[in-house]
Amino acid sequence: MTELARIRPESFFADRFNVSSSLLERVLGGSLLGRVDDADIYLEYRVNEELQLEEGTVKKASRHVSQGAGVRALSGTRTGYAHTDDISLPNLEEAASQARAIADRAGASGAVAVPSRGRPHDLYTLTEPPVVTDLARKLDLLRKVDDAARAADPRVTHVIASLSSEEVVTLVATASGWTVGDVRPLTRLNVTAIAEENGRREIGGWGGGGRVALDFYLEEERWRGFAREAARQAVLKLRAVDAPAGTMTVVLGPGWPGILLHEAVGHGLEGDFNRKGTSAFAGRMGRKVASELVTVIDDGTIPNRRGSLNVDDEGTATGRTVLIEKGILVGYMQDRLNARLMGMEPTGNGRRESYAHPPMPRMTNTFMVAGEEAPEEIIGSVRRGLYAVTFGGGQVDITNGKFVFSASEAYLIEDGRVTAPVKGASLIGNGPEALTRVSRVGRDLKLDEGVGTCGKEGQSVPVGVGLPTIRIDELTVGGTAV
Amino acid sequence: MNTEVLVGVLQRAVAKGATAADGYLIEERAFSASVRLGEIETVTHSRDARLSLRVFAGRASAAASTSDLSRASLERVVDEATSLAKVTAEDPHAGLPAPDELIGGVPDLDLEDASPSLSPEAKIELARQCEAAALESDSRITNSEGAEYHDSRARYVYATSHGFAQGYATTRFGISVSPVAARNGEMQRDYWYSSARKRAGLDDPATVGRTAAARAVRRLGARKVKTVEVPVVFDPETAASLLRAIAGAASGPSLYRRASFLLDRLGTKIASPAVTIVDDARITGGLGSRPFDGEGLPTRRTALVREGVLESYLLDTYCARKLGLRSTHHAARDGSGVSVSTSNLMLLPGRSTPSELIGSVERGLYVTELIGFGVNNVTGDYSRGAVGLWIENGELTYPVEEVTVAGNLLEMFQAIDGVGADLVLRDRTAAPTLRIGRMVVAGD
């Protein structure tokens, strides 16, 4: 796999598949230009490696290669998309003619394609691509993590430690003659611990990563921290009491609870839903959608973060988009199609799971700007409520704005003090309302550890979130203790 | 056909020092078209192939896969898998199933549509009809997320280094639509779909559209309810999701990790006697049907739960050996190796009509949609966001949203006190309407 080391996407695809930039231009020009509003070709080569240690031994080792090309033709609101896993000139031409067929029927709308813009960033050049790093070093890390998690507590009965390493080489050629590529490393270390006591069993997990090399994990504090956290979560849950049921004050801890933003407002501010008028936030631009303490940003340019990209999957440089400023809705996240149709600028949020999927507006790293309060004062301000610090997944209904996210580590707050841990429970709220009830914002903004994956219309992409400690005056907690 | 390609890869693996190997090849062609407000939105054509390989070096194994079927790439896949197998640990339970357990002749389960393909225009027209019916059926349907038509044609081949090589072909068709209803500034979206192995098996597009519209319209005016403990009736779609949770807890990997609420429960009562859950891979034309599993073992009908008693887990060869049991022939191949999956998973119907079940509830919730991921596979603790209709004196009244339903799956299945007669295999997992005696509905 050494051929992936410090490669340039253009020469990579030219050498490996005999597909040069001039050839891509010819396919775009010959088959597509003049008859459609916009068109692009996306090439992708992906190597993924999974290593898993379970019961102290290497249980799983696998390596996967996927490659392909997606050709897209856009005309008005229409998209023709064809993809193939065999990157060659005849296949690209066939795909182009399939993609074009749909646009031909419409005829070009006359709308002018938004020019691609921005120099790509350099956010994650690594000394060594993680997929070429020696296996022995990776396994050594997993063994240490596994030992540490099992040693953390005698009640831990089973540990799974896994490391996934990926490298994706992309090249986008657009009809306007812009060709830009990216080489994206991505790694993630995960620890799962299962604990058992008096017949009660629980599971805990922790992990993290980003567009980082193996060295990132080798800092002792980091890998030990992941192991300890997984064990601590599992053991803590052994004594969790039933979660409360009903509407109450909720304090969210810093970091990963930022999934609240992702679900409550993030999806609703993606361009496609707003162009179609199917988002609960449609038509609210310039209006108040959150308390004045709330500023929310989507930023794809933070170095080495899981959600960051040098360029998006349409060749637009990523950016820092303010979505909500002091409570006022000020921005949407856009891809090229929706930007063109809404008369806006693309924001570098056009993403896709792979060559097999057309791009759409997606989040990158979405976070709330820090406030001024001390976290302990925020907790201290609550007489009775829930303090939630770790979450599983979340989901939102874009149209009515209702979102849920599931707390996996949460505690009761009684008279300003954090007391008993409670069992996992879903929190449910209404996106356009929930952030209006944010009454305190901490100074402790933290980005998550780097584990998020977002699903939309069947496409998964890596994302990040971030949050300072915040207090929400009313949110419904879905426990069983009435 | 590329069977030879797969067989060649296995031979190379053995030549490279593997003691055994098996592999799966999937080739697929797909088409999809979406239409929104009558206009074509996206049309996608695709052609994909993926070869996945598992090699054994004695009792150690590794997996690799590629979508690049060129000779050079396949050689690299073999080399990588064989070298990875050298770093994995010996595991006494690893290995292929015994050759005599593999399927002999592959039965024809009628999974492939032989009728001629429609033109892209005719396919797009089906999506258009579906959405048009939704938009026309009610003046409150004012917008749409669009309608989609899709079809795919796939061929699967499984082979082992022992010389086994068998395959089968499938087709799949689907239409779906997601209309938006609006009134007084409130918007509600819902969804309906139809899927089938053969195009002729699809529901009439207009019926799908009207059903989706009715589902969206009935959500208008939704409100929260006060937090309360009441009977909850799950419609067939949401009831099916409860079955998926049971299947997850019954699957081999969660059991040998002792991370399942069904651990050590084989032969014991885990649900009310009204509950019988069957996984049947041999249903003719079934959306989840498959003649053999991901390890070449012949599939069959398995009773997971019979009259409330847990009778079987869902196991592949590895999990079975590890648990001291026999494979239940539920191996599935995913990108990263072998996993466990259900085929056509059903909760068998009872005798009540859905309206009898709703009618039996004085005050409670009828659930039509669940969101979020609040299911704990280890403890069975359950808490999800719910949408539905409030039941008052046995009648459906106003729509409900922004509430959760919570309980524990074991207690919930024990508390099933009504099973509908309305089982329809709309998807690979299906259930009739279910009534659960008591759950906590959290709201105001």
Q: What is the pLDDT of residues A216-249, one digit of tens each?
A: 999 999 999 999 999 999 999 999 999 999 999 9
Q: What is the pLDDT of residues A86-131, one digit of tens each?
A: 888 888 888 888 888 776 655 544 445 555 567 889 999 888 899 9
What is the pLDDT, as a whole number, of residue A109? 47
B442 touches chain A (CB under 8 A): yes
Contact A136 B87 (CB under 8 A): yes
- Give the minimum alpha-carbon distance from B107 to chain A in angstroms, rounded to a whole number: 31
Task: Tell me the CB-side half-sphere exposure of residue B270, using CA atoms within 13 A.
Answer: 28
For the record, the structure tokens of A311 come out as 């360029």
Spell out where A76-218 has E strands: 78-84, 156-174, 179-197, 200-210
Mean pLDDT, rounded, for A184-213: 96
What is the pLDDT, as a whole number, of residue B168? 96
Mean pLDDT, rounded, for B72-100: 90
- Give the minimum alpha-carbon distance from B63 to chain A in angstroms, rounded to a whole number: 4
What is the pLDDT, as a whole number, of residue B355? 97
Count of helix runs (H) and strand runs (E) in chain A: 11, 23
- Give the minimum alpha-carbon distance from A133 to chain B in angstroms, rounded to a whole number: 13
What is the pLDDT, as a whole number, of residue A116? 57
Contact B40 A425 (CB under 8 A): no
B357 within some domain: yes
B282 lies in the same domain as B419 = no
Of B65, B335, B383, the CB nearest to A479: B383
Contact A400 B219 (CB under 8 A): yes
Nearest to A205 by CA among A19, A449, A29: A449
The residue among A341, A406, A457, A460 with the most chain B CBs within 10 A of its CB, best to mutate, is: A406
Cα dist from A309 to A173, A349, A358, B92, whole Å: 17, 9, 17, 44
Q: What is the pLDDT of residues A305-324, one digit of tens each?
A: 999 999 999 999 999 999 99
Cα separation of A261 and A258, whole Å? Answer: 5
Task: Tell me the CB-side half-sphere exposure of residue A335, using CA atoms within 13 A.
Answer: 21
B65 lies in the same domain as B96 = yes
Cα separation of A337 and A351, whole Å? Answer: 12
pLDDT of B432 over the 70 cut: yes
Contact A60 B49 (CB under 8 A): no
pLDDT band at A178 (very low <50, low <70, confident <90, very high): confident
Q: Which residues of B touch A68 (CB under 8 A)?
A: 48, 67
B218 within some domain: no
Mean pLDDT, rounded, for A358-373: 97
Cα separation of A347 and A333, whole Å? Answer: 6
Which residue in chain A is spatially nearest to B94 when comparing CA positions?
A: A59
B356 lies in the same domain as B331 = no
pLDDT of B202 over the 60 cut: yes
B270 lies in the same domain as B288 = yes
B334 touches chain A (CB under 8 A): no
Of A57, A196, A428, the CB nearest to B385: A428
What is the pLDDT, as a whole number, of residue A31? 63
| Domains contained in chain B, number | 3
Name the burial class of residue A90, with classes exposed (0-12), middle (13-18) and buried (19+) by CB atoms within 10 angstroms of its CB: exposed
Residue A253, C-beta contacts closer than 8 angstroms, at least 6 positions apart: A375, A387, A388, A389, A390, A467, A469
What is the pLDDT, as a whole number, of residue A111? 47
Cα separation of A20 and A166, whole Å? Answer: 24
Q: Which residues of B315-353 are buried (b: 16+ CB within 10 A; e: fewer)?
A: bbbbbbbbeeeebbbbbbbebbbbbbbbbbbbbbbbebe
pTM of the model: 0.94
Chains A and B form CB pairs within 8 A to the count of 264
What is the pLDDT, as a whole number, of residue A25? 86
Nearest to B37 by CA among B191, B175, B142, B126: B142
pLDDT of B381 over the 60 cut: yes
The residue among A2, A65, A158 with the most chain B CBs within 10 A of its CB, best to mutate, is: A65
Contact B258 A392 (CB under 8 A): no
Contact A393 B371 (CB under 8 A): no
- Give the minimum alpha-carbon distance from A276 to chain B in angstroms, rounded to a whole number: 8
Q: What is the pLDDT of residues B128-173, one digit of tens each?
A: 999 999 999 999 999 999 999 999 999 999 999 999 999 999 999 9
B334 lies in the same domain as B389 = no
B-facing residues of A in 52-71 (CB < 8 A) are 54, 57-68
Going by the DSSP 8-state scheme, the letter that residue B426 receives in this structure is S
Residue B306's SS3 state is strand
Cα separation of A345 and A374, whole Å? Answer: 38
Cα separation of A228 and A195, whole Å? Answer: 13
Which position has the token pair 């008028």?
A277
Mean pLDDT, rounded, for A138-165: 96
Architecture per CATH, domain A2-237, reads as: 2-Layer Sandwich (3.30)
For the record, the structure tokens of B305 come out as 């739960």
- Give the minimum alpha-carbon distance from A390 to chain B in angstroms, rounded to a whole number: 13
Of residues B111 and A90, more confidence is placed in B111
User: Is the distance from CB of A328 to CB of A289 less than 8 angstroms?
Assistant: yes
Cα separation of B188 and B398, whole Å? Answer: 14
B91 touches chain A (CB under 8 A): yes
Contact B258 A428 (CB under 8 A): no
B251 lies in the same domain as B338 = yes
Contact B87 A478 (CB under 8 A): no
Other C-beta atoms within 10 Å of A138: how many?
A: 22
Count of helix runs (H) and strand runs (E) in chain B: 9, 20
B393 lies in the same domain as B316 = no
Of B91, B219, B377, the CB nearest to A59: B91
pLDDT cut 90: percent of chain B above it: 92
A-facing residues of B in 97-156 (CB < 8 A) are 120, 143-145
Which residue in chain B is spatially nearest to A280 when comparing CA positions?
A: B187
A142 touches chain B (CB under 8 A): no
ipTM, interface predicted TM-score of the complex: 0.92
Angle between helices B205-217 and B120-137 (to 10 degrees): 30
Q: What is the mean pLDDT of chain B?
A: 95
Partners of A481 in the beta sheet? A244
The residue among A50, A132, A263, A397 with the most chain B CBs within 10 A of its CB, best to mutate, is: A397
Cα separation of B219 and B141, whole Å? Answer: 12
B227 touches chain A (CB under 8 A): yes
Residue B274's SS3 state is coil
Angle between helices A135-151 and A220-237 (to 10 degrees): 40
A179 touches chain B (CB under 8 A): no
For the record, the structure tokens of B318 come out as 């590895």
Mean pLDDT, rounded, for A450-456: 95
Spell out where A88-199 has E strands: 156-174, 179-197
Domain residue limits at B261: 242-344
Q: What is the pLDDT of residues A1-51, one digit of tens each?
A: 344 545 789 899 998 888 888 888 888 876 666 678 888 999 999 999 999
User: Is the distance from CB of B12 to CB of B5 less than 8 angstroms?
Assistant: no
Cα separation of A65 and B76, whole Å? Answer: 10
Cα separation of B41 and A137, whole Å? Answer: 48
B40 touches chain A (CB under 8 A): yes
Which residue in chain A is spatially nearest to B72 when comparing CA positions?
A: A16
B-facing residues of A in 290-349 (CB < 8 A) are none
Residue B233, C-beta contacts closer than 8 angstroms, at least 6 positions apart: B354, B357, B358, B361, B364, B365, B366, B367, B391, B418, B433, B434, B435, B436
Where among B344, B366, B383 does a domain terminate? B344
Which residue in chain B is spatially nearest to A65 when comparing CA positions?
A: B66
What is the pLDDT, as a whole number, of residue A16? 87
Cα separation of A168 and A189, whole Å? Answer: 18
Domain extents in chain A: 2-237, 245-478
Cα separation of B80 and B76, whole Å? Answer: 6
What is the pLDDT, as a whole number, of residue A118? 74
Where among B65, B82, B101 does a domain terminate? B101
Of A62, A65, A397, the CB nearest to B62: A62
Which position has the token pair 């003659």?
A177
Of A136, A200, A278, the CB nearest to B189: A278
Which residue in chain A is spatially nearest to B53 when comparing CA positions?
A: A62
What is the pLDDT, as a whole number, of residue A103? 65
Q: Which residues of A touch B189 (CB under 8 A)?
A: 278, 397-400
Task: State CA B184 to chain mean position distance.
Answer: 37
Which residue in chain A is spatially nearest to B225 when comparing CA positions?
A: A246
B124 within some domain: no
B264 lies in the same domain as B297 = yes
Cα separation of A111 and B335, whole Å? Answer: 42
Where among B51, B82, B101 does a domain terminate? B101
Cα separation of B316 and B329, whole Å? Answer: 6
